[in-house]
């Protein structure tokens, strides 16, 4: 089976991107990172891409007159990499519907909460403030709504009485990297199947 072409979207540090690239490099994932698209020219992930020898493209919203023009530029750049899979790795913008329709069930995101709870920004803060006793992360396909695409896998972590947004975020992050890598591996092995809002094959793969 030929390697899947993986395109990374990121806005900041790129720690999940590093985990995915590392898993491709060591053979855990049957794929290769072919490019990085970033919406901040000073993001650390661009340094990672340079170190990997992977091309990167910076597309900042401030350079475009409106969201439609920005979304079109993102789509054009994404298509140029001919990816089999797009991985959102700390990408802090909502994908345009044009991108989602161009790559149906081929865009992955990881969210630091157990969806469908605590969608959107500051999910860890939302969890602490809500007083839940279990939080975690979710890897899902990207849909046209906010964090609403089909759920692929979830990992739970405890929430302790003295947790803050920062301490809970750190505990969840420890689980994000391996969860994302497992999901990307399953995708690249053609193990995932989407039926409506349900994804099968992920946990059968792990048994």
In Å, how far are 20, 82, 135, 147, 155 from 125, measured between CA atoms?
Answer: 26, 37, 11, 16, 18
Name the catalytic one among 21, 111, 140, 177.
Answer: 111
To 10 degrees, the CA torsion angle through 114, 120, 122, 126? -60
* Structure letter (DSSP) for residue 181: H
Has 193 been annotated as catalytic?
no
Q: What element of type H or E holds 7?
A: strand 4-10
Which residues does the annotation mark as catalytic?
111
């Amino acid at each position: 089976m030929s390697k899947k072409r993986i395109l990374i979207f990121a806005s900041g540090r790129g720690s999940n991107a590093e985990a995915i690239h590392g898993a491709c490099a060591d053979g855990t994932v049957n794929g290769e990172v072919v490019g990085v698209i970033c919406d901040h020219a000073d993001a650390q992930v661009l340094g990672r891409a340079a170190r990997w020898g992977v091309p990167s493209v910076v597309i900042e919203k401030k350079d475009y007159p409106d969201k439609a023009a920005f979304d079109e530029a993102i789509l054009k750049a994404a298509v140029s990499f001919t990816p089999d899979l797009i991985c959102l790795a700390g990408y802090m913008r909502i994908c345009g519907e044009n991108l989602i329709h161009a790559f149906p069930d081929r865009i992955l995101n990881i969210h630091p909460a157990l969806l469908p709870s605590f969608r959107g920004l500051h999910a860890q803060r939302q969890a602490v403030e809500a007083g839940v006793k279990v939080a975690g992360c979710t890897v899902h396909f990207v849909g046209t709504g906010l964090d609403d695409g089909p759920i692929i896998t979830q990992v739970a972590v405890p929430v302790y009485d003295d947790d803050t947004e920062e301490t809970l975020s750190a505990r969840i992050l420890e689980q994000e990297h391996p969860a994302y890598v497992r999901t990307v591996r399953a995708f690249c092995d053609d193990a995932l199947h989407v039926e409506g809002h349900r994804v099968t094959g992920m946990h059968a793969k792990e048994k």
